[in-house]
Amino acid sequence: MRKIVIVDDEPNIVMTLEYTFKKHNFEVYIARDGSEALEILQSVIPDVIMLDVMMPKVDGYQTLKLIKENKQLKDTKVVFLTAKNKASDIEKGLKLGADKYLTKPFSVKKIVSEINELLA
Amino acid sequence: MSNYVLFLIIIIYLAALFFIAYLAEKNSKSKWVNNSVVYTLSLAVYCTAWTYYGSIGIAANSGINFLPIYLGPVIAAPLWIILLKKIIRISKQHKISSIADFISLRYGNHRFLGALVTIVCLMAIVPYISLQLKAVSETFQILSDETSYVSTSVLDDSTFYIALLLAVFATFFGTQTTDASEKHKGIIMSVAFESILKLAFFLFVGIYVTYVLFDGTEDIYTKMSQAENFNSLTTISGFEEGFNWLYTIMLSFMAIFLLPRQFQVSVVENVREKHLKNAIWMFPLYLLLFNIFVIFIAWAGNLTIGNAGQAEYYALLLPLQNGNTFLSVLVFLGGLSAVISMVVVATLALSNMVSNNLVIPYGFLDYFIKSHPERNAKYIKSIRRISIFSIIIIAYVFYVNFSFELSLYSIGLMAFVIIAQLAPSFFIGLFWNRGSSNATIIGIIAGITVVFYTLILPFSLHAINGSDDLVQYGLAGISFLRPHALFGIDFLSPPAHAFFWSILVNLLCYMIFSVLQKGNYRERNYAEMFVDSKNYSDLQDGALVWKGEAYVADIKKVLVKFLGENRTERALNLFFRKYDLPLDTQMADARLINFSEKLLTGSIGSASAKILIASVVKEDEVSLVEVLKILEESKETIARNKLLREKSNELTKLTNQLKYANEELIEKDRQKDEFLDTVAHELKTPITGIRAATELLMDDDDDMPKEIKAQFLKNMLQDSDRLSRLIHNILDFEKLSKGRSTLNIKKYNIKNTIKKTIDSLKHIADKKQIEIINSNNSDLSAEYDEDRIVQVLTNLISNAIKFCDVKKGKIVVDYRFDLGYLEVTIKDNGKGVPRLDLPYVFDKFYQSKNQNIQKPEGSGLGLAICKQIIEKHNGKIWVRNNEKSGATFGFKLPFK
C-alpha cells in the first residue's frame, strides 16, 4: 500500500483529504504542522508528502528543507498544497525541491489524479 | 592703625588682584571667566569712589540728589538690547578698541576727529582719576594714626606708590598684545571681583550703621525728622529742581555709554552678545543694592558726627569712631576697590586712545613703515605703556596741585558734562546717515567751549584765587553772560546749566552743519555701514566702496610691518579662501582694502590704518552718488542671493517631504497588499473545506458512511459560519481603521456593561465549566460607546475562555479608577501568551496556534478590532502574562 503524509493545520480540509486518499488505497498519516510531520517521518517512509505552507511552529518551506536533508526520504515525493497562489510563491516552492505545487481551493479528483501521475 | 600696617594690607590686596587677573588670563576660555555675571560686574566699574563716598556726601548735605546719577543707567539698561547690541556688533566687525575709534570710524576714519575725541576724553577723565587718588589718600589718612600727617614730598606720599602700582597693573595686563581690540580677561576678572567686594563692604557698613549703631531704619528716620533741614533733604522742591533732576538723569544716561571705561567694559571686552540679556536686569539691581543704605549712612553721620565737611567719609568715620577698626579697614578696602577698578580700566581705555588716535597717527607712521615688525610691535606696546604711566602721573600731579578744594561729586559731574559732548555725534550718528565729520568737529569744539566757560573756568578761578567775580557779574560785567546763568537761566545747578547750554549748542552745530555741508564719499560709506549695520554685516568686506589700483604685494608689505610674516600670510590665505580668489591674486579689490584696514585697526587705530593703506594704493575719487549706487546694488545682490538661497532651501525641504510621502505611500501600498493577501488566504481556507466536502458528498453519495456524511455537512456549516464571521470582521475592521464608523458616546456605568457582557457569555463558559467572576461591585461611570466596549469585553473574555482549561478555568474581571482613567482588566488562569507572541497579539491576522481546541475559531482580527475601538476612545489596550499562570488583558478609557 502506498503511504501519504498529509501536513495541514486546518482539520476540515484534512478530513476531506484523509477520506479521499483512504478511498484510493493510501495509508494516510496526519500531521498538524511541520514538527509533527518530522516526528512521523522518523518511523514512516511515505511515497508522498502533502505540505501546507502556512502552519504554526515549523512552516511548509522549513519542513521541506528538513525532508531534503534526510537521505532516507530521497525517493519520497513532496507536494505543496496551499492557498498561496502567487507566481513568486510557486516559484519559491519548486525551487526548494517540491515535485508539485497545487493550490487551494482544490478539486478532490484533480488532487488524486495529480498524485497518481506523480507516483506512476 | 599704623601707616605701615595699612600699607601692607594694601600691598597684600593688590597682590591678590594680580593673582586673580593672572588666573583669569591663564584660564581665559573657562566658563568662570566668560559669563554674564562677570560681564555685569565689570559694568559696575561705573561705581567709583564717587559712588562709594561721594553719594553719602551729597545725601548728607543736599538730600536725595545723589540718585539721578544712577537713574540714568537704570533707564538706559533696557535699551542696551537694541542700542548696545548694535554698537557691539559694529565694533566687533571693525575691530574697534575705543570710543575714539568708534566715532572717528563712523565719520570716515577721520584722523583729527579721533584725536579730538581722545582729547575730550582726557580732559574729562584725568581730573576724575586724580579725584579717585584723592579719595585713596584722604581715606588713608583718616585710617592711619597720624591724622595730622600731610605729605611733604612726593616720595613719602603713599598715594604716589599706590598710583604707580596701579600703573604697573594696568600695563602688565593691558598691553600683552599689540591689538587693542583683543580682550583683557585678567583685568575684567579683577574688576568683577572688586565690584563684589565694594558692594559687599558697603552693604556691611550700611547694615552696621543702621542696625548696630541705630535701631533700624525707622530709628534713624525718626531722629532725623526732628532736624531743621529735614524737608529740603527728602523732597524735590519744585519746578527748577525737577529740571536739575531731568538734566542729571540725561547726563548719566549718556555717560553709561560714552565714558571711556564704560565703552571698554561694555563693548570692547564683551565676549558674547547674549550676556547683555542678563546684564539688563542684573546691573540695575546692582545699582539698587548699592544705593539702599546711602541715605541712612548719611543721616546717621549727620546725627552723630555732624561735620558737613567730612560727610563724604561718614561710611569710614562711623565705624572708626565707634571703635570698629576692622570694619573701617573693610570699608577702606571697598573704596580702594572702587578706585582701583576705575583707574585701571580708565587708564587702559585712555592709553589705547592716546596711542591709536593721537600718537601713532600723528607721528609714527613713517617710522613704522621703515621699521621691522618685531620692533613695531615693541614700539606700539611701549607707546601704550608710556601713555598709561603718563596718564596716571598727570592725574597724580593734578591731584597734588589742584584738587584740595574739590569734592568727588563736583569733579565727577564735570567729567560727565565734558564726556556728554560726544553724545550727538555718537547717538545720532548711529541712526542718521547725514551726520558729517566737519559738523561733528564743530559741534564738539563748540560744546567744549561752552562747558569751559560755564563750568571749568569759574571752577578753576575759584580754585586758583578764590575769585567768584565772573560768576557774580558775568564776562565784562554783562549779566546775560554770567557763567552759571547764561541768558538769564539762573535756576539750574552749575553742572545741569552747563550741560543744557553745551549740548544745545553742540547739537545745533552738528545738525545744521551736517545738513549744510555733505561729507565726502568715504564718510557717507561708513555712515551707511553704521546706520544700516544689520544689512551691511551681510556684505562684510564688500561694504566699503573703493575704486583704484592696488597691488596685493604692496598691501602685504604694510601688513607684515605690524602683524609679522606668518600672521599676514595666514590672514591673507583666509581672505582669499573666503572669497574664492586664487592665492596668487595680483590686484587688490575693495574687499581686500577694507579687510586690511580692519586688520590694522586693532594695532594702530582706524585712522592710521586708513592712512597706511592709502599710502600704498592709488585710489580714484568716487562720487557720493556712485558710492550710494554701488552700495544699493551690492545690498540688492545680497538680498537676491539670500532670496535664492531661501528658495532653494525651501525646494530641498519640499523634495524631502515628497520623498518621505512617497516612501510612506509605498509602505502603505505594501501593507495593503499584505492585508489583501492575508484576507484572501483566510477566505480561501473555509472555502477550500466547503468545496472539497461538497465535491465528495456529490460524487460519493452512495458509498459514504452516514456518520462521515454528517461530519462533512457539519464541517461545511462551520466553515460557512467562519466565512461570514470573517467577512463581517474584515468590514468592521476596515470601517474602524478608515474612521468611517463613529462612536456613540454616552455616560454609562461600567458595572452594568460588564454584567451585560458576562451574562451573554455565560452559556459558553458554563459549557466548559469555566468560572467568570466580576470581582468589583462599585458604581463607576465613564463615557464610552457601550456596544463597542461590550464588543471588546466579549472578545477578550471569549479569548480567555478559549485559552482556559476545561473545568479548571477561572476568569476574573475587575475595574478601577487610575489617574484620570477607567481601567478594566480580564485575568485568566489559562496558558498565557507565548513570550514571543506578546508584542504582536494586537496585530491583524496574528493568530496564536496554541489554542486548546482543535480548530482556531478566530478570524485573526478580534484583538486588532479591540485595539482600534479602544484607541478610538483615546484609551490604551495592553496584555501581560501573570506571574503564576494565564494572562491579563486590560484597557484604559479616559474620563471625560
What confidence category does residue B627 fall into, taking pLDDT thresholds of 50, 70 and 90? Answer: low
Tell me whether residues B854 and A11 touch, CB distance under 8 A: yes
The partner residue sitting opposite B692, judged by closest CB among A13, A54, A86, is A13
Check if the beta carbon of residue B329 is closer than 8 Å to that of residue B240: no
CA distance B693 to chain A (A): 6
Interface of B with A in 829-858 (CB under 8 A): 849-850, 854-855
- B691 — contact with chain A (CB < 8 Å)? yes
Q: Say how far apart CA B43 and CA B34 lie, in whole Å.
A: 14
pLDDT of residue B852: 35
The partner residue sitting opposite B715, judged by closest CB among A15, A17, A55, is A15
pLDDT of residue B594: 81
What confidence category does residue B539 fall into, taking pLDDT thresholds of 50, 70 and 90? Answer: low
* % of chain B exceeding 70 in pLDDT: 88
- B693 — contact with chain A (CB < 8 Å)? yes
Tell me whether residues B696 and A13 touch, CB distance under 8 A: no
Q: Which residue on chain A is closest to B846 by alpha carbon?
A: A56
> What's the mean pLDDT in B368-388?
82
More confident residue, B33 or B826: B826
B40 Cβ contact partners less than 8 Å away, ≥ 6 residues apart: B275, B278, B279, B282, B283, B286
The predicted-structure confidence for B150-206, as pLDDT tens digits, reads as follows: 555 555 677 788 888 888 888 887 777 777 777 888 888 889 999 999 999 989 888
A5 pLDDT more than 90: yes
The partner residue sitting opposite A19, judged by closest CB among B688, B696, B850, is B696
Domains observed in chain B: 3-359+389-408 (1.20.1730.10), 521-622 (no CATH), 628-737 (1.10.287.130), 746-894 (3.30.565.10)
- B632 — contact with chain A (CB < 8 Å)? no
The predicted-structure confidence for B117-152, as pLDDT tens digits, reads as follows: 999 999 889 888 888 888 888 888 888 765 444 555
Task: Residue B686: list chain A partners with CB under 8 A.
Answer: 12
- B536 — contact with chain A (CB < 8 Å)? no
Q: Say how far apart CA B549 and CA B766 lie, in whole Å.
A: 106
Enter the C-alpha cell of residue A3. 503511504
For residue B307, the SS3 value is: coil
CA angle B827–B828–B834, rounded 5-degree value: 105
For residues B532-560, b (16+ Cβ closer than 10 Å) or e, as one string?
bbebbeebbbbbbbbeeebebeebbebbb
Tell me whether residues A19 and B715 touch, CB distance under 8 A: no
> What's the mean pLDDT in B283-310?
84
For residues B382-409, b (16+ Cβ closer than 10 Å) or e, as one string?
ebbbebbbbbbeebbebbbebbeebbbb
The partner residue sitting opposite B687, judged by closest CB among A9, A56, A105, is A105
B373 pLDDT more than 60: yes
Tell me whether residues B696 and A108 touch, CB distance under 8 A: yes
What confidence category does residue A81 fall into, taking pLDDT thresholds of 50, 70 and 90? Answer: very high
pLDDT of residue B3: 75
Alpha helices in B403-532 (DSSP H): 408-419, 423, 429-431, 437-451, 457-465, 469-473, 494-516, 521-531
- B684 — contact with chain A (CB < 8 Å)? yes
pLDDT of residue B693: 92
**CATH class label, A2-119:** alpha beta
The residue to which cell 492585508 is assigned: B675
Tell me whether residues B711 and A15 touch, CB distance under 8 A: yes
> What's the mean pLDDT in B263-289?
89
pLDDT of residue B136: 84
Residue B483 CB burial class (10 angstroms; 0-12, 13-18, ≥19): buried
What DSSP string runs through B369-417? HHS-HHHHHHHHHHHHHHHHHHHHHHHHHHHHHHTTS--HHHHHHHHHH
- Torsion angle (degrees, nearest 10) of CA B251, B253, B254, B255: 80
Handedness of CA B19, B25, B31, B33 (dihedral sign): positive
Tell me whether residues A83 and B681 touch, CB distance under 8 A: yes
Check if the beta carbon of residue B380 is closer than 8 Å to that of residue B628: no
Domain residue spans of chain A: 2-119
The predicted-structure confidence for B478-511, as pLDDT tens digits, reads as follows: 666 777 767 767 777 788 888 888 999 999 999 9
Residue B814 CB burial class (10 angstroms; 0-12, 13-18, ≥19): middle
- B464 — contact with chain A (CB < 8 Å)? no
Which ipTM did the prediction report?
0.94
CA distance A74 to chain B (A): 30
Residue B481 per-residue DSSP state: G
Among the ranges given (A9-13, B17-21, B326-330, B858-862), the one the predictor scored with the smallest mean pLDDT: B858-862
The partner residue sitting opposite A11, judged by closest CB among B681, B699, B855, is B855
The partner residue sitting opposite B689, judged by closest CB among A13, A20, A54, is A13
CA distance A71 to chain B (A): 31
Check if the beta carbon of residue B601 is closer than 8 Å to that of residue B613: no
- Torsion angle (degrees, nearest 10) of CA B579, B580, B586, B589: -30
Tell me whether residues B849 and A105 touch, CB distance under 8 A: no
Check if the beta carbon of residue B425 is closer than 8 Å to that of residue B444: yes
Instruction: Supply the mean pLDDT for chain B.
Output: 82
Q: Which residue on chain B is closest to A56 by alpha carbon?
A: B849
The residue to which cell 477578550 is assigned: B796
Per DSSP, what are the bridge partners of residue B815? B824
Q: Give which of A1, A116, A115, A119 is closest to A51, Cα–Cα.
A: A115
For residue B837, the SS3 value is: coil
Tell me whether residues B849 and A109 touch, CB distance under 8 A: no
B31 Cβ contact partners less than 8 Å away, ≥ 6 residues apart: none
Check if the beta carbon of residue A1 is closer than 8 Å to that of residue A47: no
The partner residue sitting opposite A56, judged by closest CB among B686, B719, B849, is B849
The predicted-structure confidence for B664-716, as pLDDT tens digits, reads as follows: 898 888 878 877 887 888 889 899 999 999 999 988 767 888 899 999 999 99
Q: Which residue on chain B is closest to A108 by alpha carbon?
A: B692
Q: Say how far apart CA B574 and CA B554 lie, in whole Å.
A: 18
Check if the beta carbon of residue A29 is closer than 8 Å to that of residue A49: no
Q: Give which of B194, B143, B134, B202 is closest to B408, Cα–Cα.
A: B134
Task: Residue B858: list chain A partners with CB under 8 A.
Answer: none
CA distance A16 to chain B (A): 6
Tell me whether residues B685 and A107 touch, CB distance under 8 A: no
CA distance B847 to chain A (A): 9
Instruction: Identify the helix (H) or strand (E) that includes residue A48.
Output: strand A48-51
Decide the pairing of beta strands A100-103 and A48-51.
unpaired
pLDDT of residue B713: 92
> What's the mean pLDDT in B40-54?
86
- B71 — contact with chain A (CB < 8 Å)? no
What is the pTM assigned to this prediction? 0.63
Number of Cβ within 10 Å of residue B365's Cβ equals: 15
Q: What one-letter code names the amino acid at B477?
A: G
The partner residue sitting opposite B688, judged by closest CB among A84, A104, A109, is A104
